[in-house]
């Protein structure tokens, strides 16, 4: 029994629209589930070991030490408060990385130390629009 061309066109339209809606829902779901909020060091002091986190904070001045092919340093909350969290990192270190700068780093807590994943260290540069005393 042949299908009416008008009905066939409607069926194709319904299938195409259903597919588009499913793809849009899948895209929205994956984009929201992939985004993580960066945590401050004070939030990570009691974090569960082995879980991956994105940390943001300020490098404590004078705390940077070279360790073989990596570095070790301490990080406090961005406002300079809170207890310092020890960090180890192996990988490329950005040129502007130094004490007092804000960083973003992905890694996990191991034995009370935040171990950064290689190639995930980002140094935030100070704004051109801050006064010299703020930098």
The per-residue pLDDT for range 43-85, each reduced to its tens digit, is 898 888 888 899 999 999 999 999 888 999 999 998 888 889 9
Q: How many domains does one find in the chain?
A: 2
Residues 27 and 90 in one domain: no
**Residue 131 in domain:** no
Question: What is the pLDDT, as a whole number, of residue 19?
Answer: 95
Do 7 and 70 have their domain in common? no
DSSP letter for 16, please: H
23: left (phi over 0), alpha (psi -120 to 50) or beta: alpha
- Determine, yes or no, domain membership for 101: yes
Question: 19 versus 4: which is more confidently predicted?
Answer: 19
Nearest of 77, 76, 81, 86 to residue 107 by alpha carbon? 86
Angle at 117 between CA 62 and CA 113, to 5 degrees: 55
Q: Are residues 106 and 56 located together in one domain of the fold?
A: yes
Same domain assignment for residues 53 and 97: yes
Task: For the chain, give the percent of residues with pLDDT over 90.
Answer: 51
What average pLDDT does this structure show over 103-130? 86
Domain membership of residue 14 (yes or no) is: yes
Range of the domain at 1: 1-35
Assigned domain for 91 exists: yes
Residue 127 banded pLDDT, cuts 50, 70, 90: low
> Per-residue pLDDT for 14 more than 80?
yes
Structural domain contains residue 130: no
Q: Are residues 115 and 81 located together in one domain of the fold?
A: yes
Q: How far does CA 6 lie from the centroid of its chain?
A: 51
Would you say residue 10 lies in a domain? yes
Q: What is the model's pLDDT at position 9?
A: 92
- Same domain, yes or no, for 3 and 17? yes
Q: Do 102 and 63 reside in the same domain of the chain?
A: yes
Can you give the length of the chain in residues? 135
- Is the domain of 89 the same as that of 48? yes
Per-residue pLDDT of 76-95, as tens digits, reads 998 888 889 999 999 889 88
Considering the domain architecture, whether residues 28 and 45 belong to the same structural domain is answered as no
Contact of 83 with 41, CB cutoff 8 Å: yes
Q: Considering only CA atoms, which of 84, 89, 98 is closest in space to residue 121?
A: 89
Quick one: pLDDT at residue 35? 56
Answer yes or no: is pLDDT of 116 > 80: yes
Q: Clarify whether residues 11 and 47 are in a common domain.
A: no
The pLDDT-based confidence of 128 (bands split at 50, 70, 90) is low
With a cut of 70, say whether residue 30 has pLDDT above it: yes
Which among 21, 103, 100 is positioned nearest to 63, based on CA atoms?
Answer: 100
């Amino acid at each position: 029994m042949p299908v009416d061309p008008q009905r066939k066109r409607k069926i194709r339209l319904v299938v195409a629209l259903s597919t588009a809606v499913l793809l849009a829902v899948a895209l929205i779901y994956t984009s929201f589930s992939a985004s993580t909020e960066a945590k401050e060091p004070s939030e990570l002091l009691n974090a569960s070991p082995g879980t991956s986190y994105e940390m943001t904070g300020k490098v404590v001045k004078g705390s940077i030490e070279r360790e073989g092919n990596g570095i070790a340093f301490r990080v406090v909350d961005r406002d300079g408060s809170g207890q310092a969290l020890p960090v180890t990192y192996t990988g490329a270190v950005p040129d502007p990385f130094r004490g007092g700068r804000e960083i973003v780093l992905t890694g996990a807590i191991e034995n009370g130390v935040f171990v950064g994943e290689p190639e995930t260290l980002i140094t935030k540069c100070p704004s051109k629009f801050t006064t010299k005393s703020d930098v």
